[in-house]
Amino acid sequence: MSQGEGIVVAVPDTGVDPHPDLINNLLIGTDIVQGGSGDGHGDHNSHGTSMAGLIAAHGRGEHFGALGIAPKAKILPIMSSLADNRGEADDLAAGIEYAARHGVDVISISSAGGSSVRLIQAINAALAANIIVVAGVGNRPEASSVGYPASHEGVIAVGGIDRAGEHAAVSVTGPDIDVVAPAVDIYSTSYGGKYSKGSGTSGATAIVAGAAALIRSKYPNLPAQEVAHRLTATAVDKGPPGRDDEYGYGVIDLVAALTADVPPLGFESVSATNTTATTAAEPAASDAGDGDATARALAALGVLAAAGGGYLIWRRRRRADDPPPRISR
């Protein structure tokens, strides 16, 4: 139905290693922070490479390698956090601004934490530019509420489910959650041509970003708001009937999202599709952990906001408090 042809997904993260399963879909990006190669292709953490692989890994031949959700989409790699997943909110903002200037279709933010004036403005500008913004809600036990920018109205806020399709214990809950996707035991690409396994809402976020790429590729004239609406309207309801704080509108359903007859916005209200500017930023402590895989997808990350001296430090914890992903040697 769709493989993400013609779509560019920005991944502001720890950089993206040119993994053999991903390299053909990897564009020249940039480094916002020091320590990389200047083009976004360095990753000393593996988190960014894992997220990119979940979105757009193309594999190597018919029966070998990793295959992402949208294997014909392109990745714009942006190194916006250091190898230890630490960085400032303004570094993430700069990465989002770079993505918007380069005309991306989707921005996948597998982190959660605090905000800054510049970050709020960058998110608002991206939404106003008809870019789909997807963000992880954060991971327990470090976070207890939905972090930023997932809490920003208009951003698709992603929670997690486990291998049984139930709410993942690692996933934060809250009224901002829009949809959920696999977040436990997610396998994906890693640095040095290796593979990794992890858990957290980071991987769920990348999976949903891949889903958004599929929809935007099949329906190129569909506004970002309607893409978000299509994801929420076709999600498989879980928990109490209707939207709830564990599952949002439900588990994403790729086939339904690509084929269902979905009435346009105005017939029903969906919180994920309003691009009203957020006027106040709350320093939300939250995680979006690293990714693990199931048959439906692959990886995840973690983030914490630390306040200090009048500014918020954006702390992206590659594993949250989860054990480090196991990387094949």
Task: Give the catalytic positions in this structure.
Answer: 13, 47, 202
Question: Distance between CA 299 and CA 199 in Å, rounded?
Answer: 7
Strand ranges in the chain using DSSP code E only, listed in sequence order: 8-13, 30-31, 74-79, 86-88, 106-109, 132-136, 156-161, 179-182, 186-189, 195-198, 302-308, 311-317
3-state secondary structure of 217: helix
- Which residues pair with residue 134 across a beta bridge? 108, 156
Closest CA relative to residue 320, chosen from 179, 172, 211: 172
Residue type, 39: D
Q: Annotate 91-150 with DSSP letters as a single string.
A: HHHHHHHHHHHTT-SEEEE---B---HHHHHHHHHHHHTT-EEEEE--BTTT-SS--BTT
